[in-house]
Amino acid sequence: MHPAPSIIIFTVFSGLGYGLAAALGLNLLDPTATATKAAHMLAIGLIGAGLLSSTLHLGNPQRAWRALSQWRSSWLSREGVLALLTFVPIACAAWACIMNGRYILLAGVPGAVLAALTVYCTSMIYASLRSVDAWYTPLTSFCYLLFSAAGGLLAASFFAITSGSSNAASLALLAAVANFAAWSAKWRWRQRLKATPPRSSAETATGLGHLGAVRLLERPHMTENYLTHEMGFRIARKHADKLFGLALVFGGLMPSLLVALASAIFSAIPLTSAFLALLATVGYLVGMLVERWLFFAEARHAVMSYYGS
């Protein structure tokens, strides 16, 4: 599949934003701290930037509102509806924290739940597609949720350490565990991708498999079209393996080690601890951008069976 930059930015940034919003909604940060106020603004900014980026992938962005009407059958529509609904409690929680230094339970918990549901709907846009073998698995949604939680906890750890919160060390340790779990799930997802043979072939696509092996004499189109551009993107396995290794190091190994170290030295060297937590969050973002690019680049759409791929 063609890895569109707008969708990559959308899924990575909004996932991190919703994860941070969920951490704030569960009152994991001190609402009286200045750093927590900044965390609220960052969460809303990341979510807004991600959603705006997603509209760049639309052929007619001015008609994006019509997607909301199909919530009964479309995961994309459900995601849009929930994204709008989630803004209400998240904004209320942010307002209470920034203006009054208070945590509102009736805004925080619903905001955290709706944030998780929104990320789940985003994942189901891909996990519900039978035509893409790599995505059609519960592991896809599991990875999306774990990555969002890990990113949110990593960012929350930085803000907690910066504010000198009493639970900063435990929060950083929890972030390390969550990030390790997320990348472990992703490793399992990718092993499934490499081991599972494609369900669609030239034989199944044409319905002529009962006659024997099917060989295409010519492609349906001699020149590139929308399908070959969007669905026919291919990357060599050796390059994909190298990129995944980089993503695993920058997004998985490095952030987990850095934030665990930040947890260990927080009480002795708080400033260094905050810097390590910041590096861990930045590394997570770098790794996630590569991971999400591979998520699309390695996916094979069944329609390409008609093109001999």
pLDDT value for 193: 87
Domain residues for the domain of 68 are 5-307
Q: Report d(CA 14, CA 115) in Å as an integer.
A: 10
Kindly compute the dihedral angle of the four CA atoms of residues 141, 144, 145, 151, in this order, to the nearest 10 degrees.
170
Q: Which amino acid is at 262?
A: A
> b/e string for 52-65 if b means 16 or more Cβ within 10 A?
ebbeeeeeeeeeee
pLDDT value for 213: 79
Q: Report d(CA 172, CA 88) in Å as an integer.
A: 28
Residue with the two structure tokens 């810097």? 275
pLDDT value for 57: 63
Q: Look at the chain and report how many structural domains it folds into.
A: 1
Q: What is the DSSP letter of 301?
A: B
CB 80, CB 47: distance < 8 Å: no
Provide the CB-side half-sphere exposure for 176 (13 A, CA).
19
Q: Report d(CA 265, CA 150) in Å as an integer.
A: 21
- Mean pLDDT over the full length of the chain: 87
Q: Report d(CA 157, CA 173) in Å as an integer.
A: 9
Q: Name the stretches of the chain with pLDDT < 50.
A: none
Q: What percent of the chain shows pLDDT beyond 90?
A: 60
pLDDT value for 45: 94
pLDDT value for 30: 93
pLDDT value for 29: 95
pLDDT value for 300: 81
Q: Report d(CA 251, CA 291) in Å as an integer.
A: 9
The alpha carbons of the chain give a radius of gyration, in whole angstroms, of 21
CB 302, CB 131: distance < 8 Å: yes
Q: What is the pLDDT of residues 76-100, one digit of tens each?
A: 889 889 998 999 999 999 999 999 9
In CATH, what number is assigned to the domain containing residue 65? 1.20.1630.10
Task: Determine the Cα angle at 39 with ends 38 and 44, to 5°.
Answer: 100
